[in-house]
Amino acid sequence: MSGPARQSYRVAPVARVGGAIRVPGDKSISHRALMLGSIATGETRVSGFLASADCLATMTAMRALGVRIARPAEHEVIVTGAGPDGLHASAAPLDMGNAGTAMRLSMGLLCGQRFSSTLIGDASLMQRPMERVAKPLRLMGARIDTREGRPPVVLHGGATLHGIDYALPMASAQVKSALLLAGLAATGTTRVTEPAPTRDHTERMLAGFGVPVRRAGACVELAGGQPLRGTAVQVPGDFSSAAFFIVAGCLAATDGLTIERVGINPTRTGLLDMLRLMGARIQVRERQDAAGPEPLADITVHAGPLRGAVIPPELVPLAIDELPVLFIAAACAEGETVVTGAGELRVKESDRLAAMAAGLAAIGARCELLPDGIRIVGGPLRGGRIDSHGDHRIAMSFAMASVRATAPIDIDDVANVATSFPGFPEVARAAGLALDEANGA
């Protein structure tokens, strides 16, 4: 008996990429707009919403909790807020699909509710660690059960939360955000200290909903009991999605490739600094028509020689999701590139360090896997077959490697690309990649 069909890509080499493209809305901001809009008073209108599998899972969960959410258009969402006490228990476990952000932030959002909730996900998400969020939430008074540190996550209702002063043991925007969301329902002040800067979408969006968030150095804090007011949220193009084409442009955009209307929140753009260290030619033109707290820009890249670099560890938290495609750039650069301090990649949708090292070796790149990073020596790439391990960022990264390969690259198990980048094949082809889709056993 044959197994189920698996989606795959075949990406043939091309001489160049170029033109102007747009990428879908930012996943991190779309998740947060739904969640904060759900507990706000009044109406929240979201434009540029990312209609991906991950964000739709969050939408389904919020509806199951009693929130009215309308979609007048594919990328437009209207959330009628239930207010801080208006959510109610779901009749079934809340299925977060493949969305780790949705699960971890929901732990903070729901742990102080009067009712219990159970959070589950797909096979990948059910294997991912949740205790890094559960432990500090328990310090706030939450009652949370996990199964050996992994989902299902059971949040017991009726817990009384109190603010804490918590130093994150490792940089994590998801843990920080979960604590701040729990802090909204807690007594006193919740204060989080970061060992390194992480993306600050939650802080920016809370301010947009009328909740002041104070930052002093590495500390961010808010006072509990503050109401949220519905607002308008404009979702910019997702920088993490743009990252794939930024790298492709650095490798093959002889006449330039422009990615339009991309969010350039400075806590997200570490990849630009890393590529510039390697000699990349990148222009960022900030747009003046941005609405809301998130800056917006058109990013143009031109092909040119890249050189290897030792990536400063302080940049790593600012590019954790973009590191897989940075490794593709490193494999095409002259000399050696070393990335350390990236142990977080081992607990993403896959062990991204191991998956990238195996994939690079399969197409002829020289690399050495390190405990918390990787060493890559640039050189010619050949074609080959890549197992993406069902990880959307692994699949899209190796699609970009095709611009320097000598033969087609076949990428297996790519269905989860839709979790963050619906329409990826079409955008890739618009940029000039020779990408074909197929189903195989």
Same domain assignment for residues 147 and 247: no
Shortest CA distance to 206 belongs to which of 274, 109, 275? 109
CB-based contact 283:256 (threshold 8 Å): no
Reply yes or no on whether the pLDDT at 223 is more than 80: yes
Residue 29 scores a pLDDT above 70: yes
Q: Are 75 and 25 in contact (CB under 8 A)?
A: yes
Q: Residue 441's pLDDT is what?
A: 44
Using DSSP's 3-state secondary structure scheme, residue 118 falls into strand
**For residue 440, pLDDT beyond 90:** no
Confidence of residue 291 (pLDDT cuts 50, 70, 90): low
Do 320 and 404 share a structural domain?
Answer: yes
Q: How confident is the model at residue 222 (pLDDT cuts 50, 70, 90)?
A: very high
Give the 3-state secondary structure of 189-231. EEEEECCCCCCCHHHHHHHHCCCCCEEECCEEEEECCCCCECC
End of a domain among 196, 224, 252? 224
Give the least confident one: 90-104, 109-123, 284-298: 284-298
Q: What is the pLDDT of residue 104?
A: 97
Is residue 122 included in any domain, yes or no? yes
Rounded Cα distance between 81 and 246, Å, is 37
User: 255-281 in b/e burial notation, b at 16+ Cβ within 10 A?
Assistant: ebbbbbbbbbbeebbbbbbbbebbebb
Residue 231 forms part of a structural domain: no
Average pLDDT over residues 308-330: 95
Residue 32 sits in the same domain as residue 19? no
pLDDT (mean) for 266-281: 96
Give catalytic residue positions.
321
211, 257: one domain: no
Domain membership flag for residue 267: yes
Measured CA to CA, the distance from residue 200 to residue 292 in angstroms comes to 14
Q: Is the CB of residue 129 less than 8 Å from the CB of residue 149?
A: yes
195 in the same domain as 315: no
Is residue 242 pLDDT above 90, yes or no?
yes
Written as six digits, the tokens of 420 are 């963050």
And the tokens for 421? Answer: 């980048």
Q: Give 3-state DSSP helix, strand, coil % of the chain, rounded to 5.
A: 35, 30, 40
In angstroms, the CA 403 to CA 401 distance is: 5
Q: Tell me: pLDDT of 5 over 70.
A: no
pLDDT surpassing 80 at residue 13: yes
Within a domain: residue 71?
Answer: yes
Amino acid at 8: S
Same domain, 354 and 251: yes
What are the tokens at 59? 């939408």
pLDDT of 289 over the 90 cut = no
Residues 416, 306 within the same domain: yes
Say which residue, 2 or 403, is predicted with more confidence. Answer: 403
Question: Residue 4 above 90 pLDDT?
Answer: no
Condensed to tens digits (0 to 9), the pLDDT of residues 101-158 reads: 999 999 999 999 999 999 999 998 999 999 999 999 999 999 999 999 999 999 999 9
Does 246 map to a domain?
A: yes
> Quick one: 174 and 269 in the same domain?
no
User: 116 and 261 in one domain?
Assistant: no
Q: Is residue 230 part of a domain?
A: no
Q: At what angle do helices 270-277 and 323-331 cross, to 10 degrees?
A: 10
Domain final position from 224, 252, 277: 224
> Is residue 132 located within the same domain as residue 202?
yes
Dist. CA 406–CA 238, nearest whole Å: 30
> Among 71-85, 185-199, 341-355, whose mean pLDDT is lowest?
341-355
Give the end of a domain, one of 224, 246, 276. Answer: 224
Question: Total structural domains in the chain?
Answer: 2
Please give the pLDDT value at position 16. Answer: 95
- What percent of the chain shows pLDDT beyond 90? 90
The answer to whether 326 touches 291, Cβ cutoff 8 Å, is no
CB 259 within 8 A of CB 237: yes
- Quick check: is 334 in a domain? yes
Q: What is the pLDDT of residue 228?
A: 97
Instruction: Give the residue among 371, 420, 360 at the shortest CA–CA distance from 393.
Output: 420
Is the model more confident about 208 or about 420?
Answer: 208
Q: Identify the CA nearest to 27 among candidates 398, 269, 286, 321.
A: 321
| 296 and 320 assigned to the same domain | yes
pLDDT of res. 1: 34
Q: Domain check: are 253 and 332 in the same one?
A: yes
Tell me the residue range of the domain where 337 lies. Answer: 6-25+236-440
Task: Write the pLDDT tens digit of every residue in 361-418.
Answer: 999 999 999 999 999 999 999 999 999 999 999 999 999 999 999 999 999 999 999 8
CATH number of the domain where residue 104 is located: 3.65.10.10
pLDDT of residue 348: 79
In the predicted structure, residue 161 carries a pLDDT above the cut 50 = yes
Per-residue model confidence (pLDDT) at position 288: 82
Residue for token digits 């701040």?
180
What does pLDDT average to over the chain? 95
Residue 344: pLDDT band with limits 50, 70, 90: confident
Percent of the chain with pLDDT over 70: 98
